[in-house]
Structure 1
Amino acid sequence: MRYLLHIVARYSAVKSLLLLLCVGLSQPSWAETSDQSLVESVQQFLYQEAQALGQEAVINIAPPSPHLPTCIQPTPFLTNPNQAPIGRVSVGVRCGADGRQVRYLQAEVDVIGSYVVASQDIDRGTLVTAAMLDQREGNLSDLSSQSLTDQADIVGKVAQRPIRSGSTFQAHFLQAPSLVERGQRVTVIAEGTGFRVSREGEALADGAQGETIRVRFGSREIMTARVIGQGTLMVDF
């Protein structure tokens, strides 16, 4: 009888041990749950950043290194804020309440959206109009980083080289037209609280909208001013 009870006790102990092992295998560890939370945080961040670029975003994130400490309260940020979150993207993550610990994850972001192409051949020196453009749909990450996808960045610019029909517009293909030419007599405006004055001067360089050039008054006085219109500049204080 004792022998039988001993066998039953051993069986129960083994059964309990196996049950604990199965539960341990079926339940993710705290570290795995933390890594999953980190990846989900980065994925949600990238999705929000990419929403403005197109209709659909597909995001793949490389898993974080298991050798790094757990990231608590992850706060993602773009390591290069001037780069659109498309293609290969590096994302930094500040961890902890003070954000002193920083981790980095790599991601691949594909965005399906619309972009602009030339609807006809455009010669060098041509002022680009909306009638010369056409819309296409596709994966924006396949385009060059210099490609202009927004019509507003293209219309009103001058082609600096021939652009073939069906081609995308690269930033260095276009230039804003000059509103001021070197040697031209221009009006320079200065204004502030309660005053507005203007003087006539001579432009010392060509200038497009928003560009800052030098202007000469008389024989010696020279200052810089910002082009705001045809033959008109503004002094920024």
Structure 2
Amino acid sequence: MPYPLHVARYCLTVLKRYFLLGVCLFCSPNAQADDALLQQVHQFLYQQTQALGEEVIIDLRPPSPHLPPCVQPEPFLPNAGQSPLGRVSVGVRCGETHQQVRYLQAQIDVIGSYWVAQQDIERGTLITPDMLTKQSGSLSALPSQALIDEADIVGKVAQRPIRSGSTFQTHSLQAPALVERGQRVTVIAQGSSFRVSREGEALENGGQNDRIRVRFDTREIVTARVSEQGILVVDF
């Protein structure tokens, strides 16, 4: 049975590394432990990235030979909210209590699909599906704020002109305003056993889930979350 592509690439990387360094697995007491660590980190990174595209290429730098073996390694991503693409740092907790932490460097390339503008889009335009076209390529070569999922693009409003063939980026799109500055709105304060509503005036524009300031007739000002058209919520 043929090996999966990512396993074959990993094996090739390991063999090349040992060949170039002239290292034999039996020459260093830590070599086998280091190789087991690399395999576990590689598998962790593959699990984090396999859903992003059709092909994942991971190149891991070996740990320093001066470090002791990492017992019971537990890999993690220091920047959990960021897609692991391009050059990334991978944390590894070591030891039975996982109090020892070390970091490995990796280069991750993912070949997958992403969306670009099918036409020139003017500022203030509401993005619809027919304005998008799909392309395939290296996702790590895209701008850091590029949006890959169609759901993150359609329904947003362009905040600046977008040229045909360009990727959609986070800073160039915004959710459409559900509340406008000066609008009379309803603010609902709710908790586990109560729900109270009051009317006030929005002091800012706001889209879905934006937090904006609202002033009541008593001149009191609160910050509330935009829930829907003209409705804001204060959660307790």
TM-score (ref. length: structure 1): 0.85
Specify the alignment match of 2:17 in structure 1.
none
Specify the alignment match of 1:206 in structure 2.
205
Rounded to whole Å, the distance in 2 between the matches of 1:33 and 1:215 is 62
Q: Is the CA contact (8 Å cut-off) linking 2:111 and 2:139 kept in structure 1? A: yes
Unaligned runs of 5+ in 2: 1-23
1:178 aligns with 2:177: yes
Rounded to whole Å, the distance in 1 between the matches of 2:129 and 2:195 is 37
How far 1:194 sits from its partner (Å)? Answer: 4.7
Specify the alignment match of 2:186 in structure 1.
187
Specify the alignment match of 2:45 in structure 1.
46
Rounded to whole Å, the distance in 1 between the matches of 2:88 and 2:45 is 9
Q: Is the CA contact (8 Å cut-off) linking 2:187 and 2:234 kept in structure 1? A: yes
Specify the alignment match of 1:4 in structure 2.
none
Alignment of 1:128-143 (within 5 A): 128-143=127-142
Report % sequence identity.
Answer: 66
Q: Which amino acid aligns with 1:81?
A: A
Rounded to whole Å, the distance in 1 between the matches of 2:113 and 2:165 is 14
Q: Which amino acid aligns with 2:187?
A: V
Q: In structure 2, do the counterparts of structure 1 residues 163 and 26 end up closer, same or farther at CA, with 3 Å as the change threshold?
A: closer
Aligned residues: 213
How far 1:193 sits from its partner (Å)? Answer: 3.8
Specify the alignment match of 2:105 in structure 1.
106
Specify the alignment match of 1:158 in structure 2.
157
Rounded to whole Å, the distance in 2 between the matches of 1:170 and 1:193 is 38
How far 1:142 sits from its partner (Å)? Answer: 0.6
Rounded to whole Å, the distance in 1 between the matches of 2:228 and 2:38 is 49
Specify the alignment match of 1:93 in structure 2.
92
1:33 aligns with 2:69: no
Q: In structure 2, do the counterparts of structure 1 residues 156 and 26 end up closer, same or farther at CA, with 3 Å as the change threshold?
A: closer
Q: Which amino acid aligns with 1:212?
A: R
Give the 3-state SS of the residue equivalent to 2:81 in structure 1. Answer: coil
Alignment of 1:10-21 (within 5 A): none
TM-score (ref. length: structure 2): 0.85
How far 1:161 sits from its partner (Å)? Answer: 1.1
Q: In structure 2, do the counterparts of structure 1 residues 119 and 98 end up closer, same or farther at CA, with 3 Å as the change threshold?
A: same
Q: Is the CA contact (8 Å cut-off) linking 2:115 and 2:168 kept in structure 1? A: yes
Rounded to whole Å, the distance in 2 between the matches of 1:92 and 1:65 is 14
Specify the alignment match of 1:73 in structure 2.
72
Rounded to whole Å, the distance in 1 between the matches of 2:25 and 2:192 is 71
Rounded to whole Å, the distance in 2 between the matches of 1:170 and 1:124 is 14
Give the 3-state SS of the residue equivalent to 2:235 in structure 1. Answer: coil
Rounded to whole Å, the distance in 2 between the matches of 1:94 and 1:192 is 39
Which one has the bigger helix percentage? 1
How far 1:190 sits from its partner (Å)? Answer: 2.4
More displaced stretch, 165-174 vs 192-201: 192-201
Higher radius of gyration, 1 or 2: 1
